[in-house]
């Protein structure tokens, strides 16, 4: 593989699984000519708004919010105080975006997953003449429509959280629902789905094999829709629809975003759909004033290798000798989304990698400073502000863009955890306590 010098320079670190920060040298270039229209972001927002009453009807836990699927933007100055060096006088503001607590699905996958299932349900109902475009979407939850949905199969391949999101929503609408899961998916996720009447098919092998197996089986069925995490635009725009609400939350918190007030957003990345969609949405609103950085496990930096290689064909973490084995099961993806990677090539500021030990130490500091309990994947972004302020790459980025970091807002996107059973959460924290006892504290190891 011939690759840019920048990739060669970071390759040895990646192969040794040493945490690293790669800056995207193509940031700011034009989007590809075939990039999807940003009008699709507004479409997704409108769809989620028109389906809110339906969601409130389907899920009692959404009554309080009128069916709105959104999460809090939580001030995180205590986390900042716990992680920052004293005496730097840095006046930036830190927040945690609490998608770990998104209702019904308990992870960021609620955004993309619910949007895709609702879009598919609408499409079927419209083509079969069961609803008209302006009808109240609660009509999708009537016996005649549900009887039609029961003839259709909705299928997905997943390491876990996407399966939970798609499975719960599709089953609630009455679809025949199949979730293909990889060997590393957690038992409690499979159990939860089976209890809701979802068929769970287990695949030996990794995430990509579960997706490929699911795709092949779904294509063989007459009335079926396969939610394709490696290339779905409906998932992507479901995530992108989060941007406008975040912008309103920042405004309410008194945070400006413009040339003098940069916004940094740190997003855990698996296949890239969720963080990529959010980046696309935020870039459409804030342009060059938002700086999006992905976080990936040291064993699974699939977006990093795809983008850093500048290759138009797929590059996987296996190609550089990594094993894609991580406790961050939501991020254990070897090859980035074919839809998302080309879009991120000009939008993403960079990617940093995180060791599994650091994920657990992050979990621990999140709990001790803010009382927030998350799953390991969700803790990947926490080192982001430090990479910007304390690493040579981060400082170079700040200089190059002439940013006033004292006016910066840092948003660390937390992506999953509220449905994890208490005994599993306890096991994460026991492990983190053990690491801390052994004297491991550094969040950034270099």
Summarize as ranges the residues that interact with ligand PLP (CB under 6 A).
Answer: 107-109, 161, 268-275, 330-331, 375, 377-378, 415-416
Q: How far is the CB of 210 from ligand PLP (least distance, A)?
A: 13
- Least distance from C-beta 229 to ligand PLP, angstroms? 7
Instruction: Tell the smallest beta-carbon distance from residue 328 to ligand PLP (Å).
Output: 8
CB 293 within 8 A of CB 349: yes
Q: Quick check: 195 and 171 in contact, CB under 8 A?
A: no
Nearest to 10 by CA among 325, 266, 305, 311: 305
Residue (67 or 272) nearer to ligand PLP, CB: 272
333 and 339 Cβ atoms separated by less than 8 Å: no
Q: Torsion angle of alpha carbons 392, 326, 181, 374, nearest 10°?
A: -70
Check: CB of residue 214 under 8 Å from CB of residue 201.
yes
CB contact burial 121-158 (16+ within 10 A = b; e otherwise):
bbebbeeeebbeeeeebbebbeeebeebbeebbbbbbb
| Chain position whose Cβ is nearest to ligand PLP | 270
Return the number of the residue (347 or 415) whose C-beta is nearest ligand PLP: 415
Determine the Cα–Cα distance for residues 163 and 159; give it in Å rounded to an integer. Answer: 7
Alpha helices in 391-421 (DSSP H): 392-400
CB of 341 to ligand PLP, least distance (A): 11
Cβ neighbourhood burial of 376 (10 Å; 0-12, 13-18, 19+): buried
Measured CA distances, 183 to 245, 325, 329, 407, 427 (Å):
36, 12, 11, 45, 20
At its nearest, how many Å lie between ligand PLP and the CB of residue 270? 3
> How many CA atoms lie less than 13 Å away from 131 in the CB half-sphere?
21
Q: Residue 400 Cβ, how far from ligand PLP at the closest point, in Å? A: 27
Provide, rounded to whole angstroms, the least separation between the CB of residue 296 and ligand PLP.
9
Least Cβ distance, residue 195 to ligand PLP (angstroms):
20
The least CB distance from residue 82 to ligand PLP, in Å, is: 22
Output 160 or 174, the one with its CB closest to ligand PLP.
Answer: 160
**CA 398/CA 407 separation, integer angstroms:** 12
In the complex with ligand PLP, which residue's Cβ is closer, 249 or 279?
A: 279
Q: Which of residues 73 and 405 has its CB atom nearest to ligand PLP in the complex?
A: 73
Q: Closest distance between ligand PLP and the C-beta of residue 273, in Å?
A: 3
Cβ proximity to ligand PLP, 166 vs 274, nearer residue? 274
- Tell me how crowded residue 250 is: count the other CB atoms within 10 A of its CB: 20
Instruction: Give Cα separations from 368 to 100, 105, 198, 363, 432 (angstroms).
Output: 17, 25, 37, 9, 12
- Given the complex with ligand PLP, which of 4 and 205 has the nearer CB atom? 205
Local structure of residue 35 (DSSP, 8 states): P
Nearer to ligand PLP, 157 or 330 (CB): 330
If the CB atoms of residues 274 and 304 are measured against ligand PLP, the closer one turns out to be 274
Smaller CB distance to ligand PLP: residue 124 or 246? 246
**179 dihedral zone (left: phi>0; alpha: psi -120 to 50; beta):** beta
Give the residue with the Cβ less far from ligand PLP, 326 or 377. 377
Q: Which is nearer to ligand PLP, 137 or 431 (CB)?
A: 431
Strands 21-23 and 350-354: antiparallel
Q: How far is the CA of 138 from the CAs of 56, 96, 125, 173, 200, in angstroms? A: 9, 33, 12, 11, 28
Q: How far is the CB of 259 from ligand PLP (least distance, A)?
A: 29
Provide the minimum distance between the beta carbon of 419 and ligand PLP in the complex, in angstroms, as a whole number.
11
Of the candidates 375, 379, 399, the one whose C-alpha atom is nearest the C-alpha of residue 389 is 399
């Amino acid at each position: 593989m011939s690759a840019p010098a920048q990739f060669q320079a970071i390759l040895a670190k990646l192969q040794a699984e040493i945490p690293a920060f790669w800056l995207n040298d193509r940031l700011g270039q034009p989007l590809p000519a075939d990039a999807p229209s940003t009008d699709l972001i507004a479409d997704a927002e409108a769809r989620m708004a028109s389906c809110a009453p339906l969601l409130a009807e389907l899920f009692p836990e959404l009554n309080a919010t009128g069916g709105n699927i959104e999460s809090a933007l939580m001030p995180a100055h205590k986390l900042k105080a716990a992680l920052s060096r004293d005496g730097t006088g840095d006046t930036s503001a830190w927040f945690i975006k609490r998608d770990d607590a998104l209702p019904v699905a308990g992870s960021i996958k609620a955004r993309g997953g619910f949007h895709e299932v609702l879009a598919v349900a609408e499409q079927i109902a419209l083509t079969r003449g069961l609803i008209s475009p302006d009808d109240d979407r609660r009509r999708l939850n009537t016996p005649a429509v549900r009887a039609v949905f029961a003839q259709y199969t909705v299928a997905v391949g997943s390491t876990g959280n996407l399966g939970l999101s798609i499975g719960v929503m599709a089953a609630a609408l009455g679809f025949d629902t199949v979730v293909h899961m990889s060997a590393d998916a957690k038992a409690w996720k499979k159990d939860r789905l089976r209890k809701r009447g979802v068929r769970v098919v287990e695949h030996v092998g990794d995430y990509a094999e579960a997706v490929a197996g699911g795709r092949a089986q779904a294509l063989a069925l007459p009335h079926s829709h396969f939610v394709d995490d490696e290339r779905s635009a409906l998932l992507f725009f479901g995530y992108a629809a989060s941007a406008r609400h975040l912008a309103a939350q920042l405004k309410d918190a008194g945070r400006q975003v413009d040339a003098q007030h940069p916004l940094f957003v740190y997003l855990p990345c698996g296949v890239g759909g969720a963080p990529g969609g959010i980046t696309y949405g935020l870039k459409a609103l804030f342009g060059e004033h938002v700086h999006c950085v992905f976080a990936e496990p040291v064993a699974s930096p699939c977006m990093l290798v795809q983008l850093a290689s500048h290759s138009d064909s797929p590059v996987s973490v296996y190609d550089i000798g990594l094993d894609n084995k991580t406790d961050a099961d939501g991020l254990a993806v070897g090859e980035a989304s074919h839809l998302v990677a080309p879009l991120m090539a000009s939008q993403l500021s960079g990617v940093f990698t995180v060791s599994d030990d650091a994920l657990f130490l992050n979990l621990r500091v999140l709990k001790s400073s803010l009382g927030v309990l998350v799953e390991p994947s969700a803790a990947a972004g926490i080192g982001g502000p430090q990479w910007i302020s304390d690493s040579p790459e981060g400082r170079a980025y700040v200089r190059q863009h002439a940013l006033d970091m004292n006016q910066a807002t840092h948003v660390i996107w937390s992506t999953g955890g509220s449905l994890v059973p208490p005994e599993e959460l306890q096991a994460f924290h026991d492990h983190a306590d053990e690491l801390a006892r052994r004297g491991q504290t550094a969040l950034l190891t270099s």
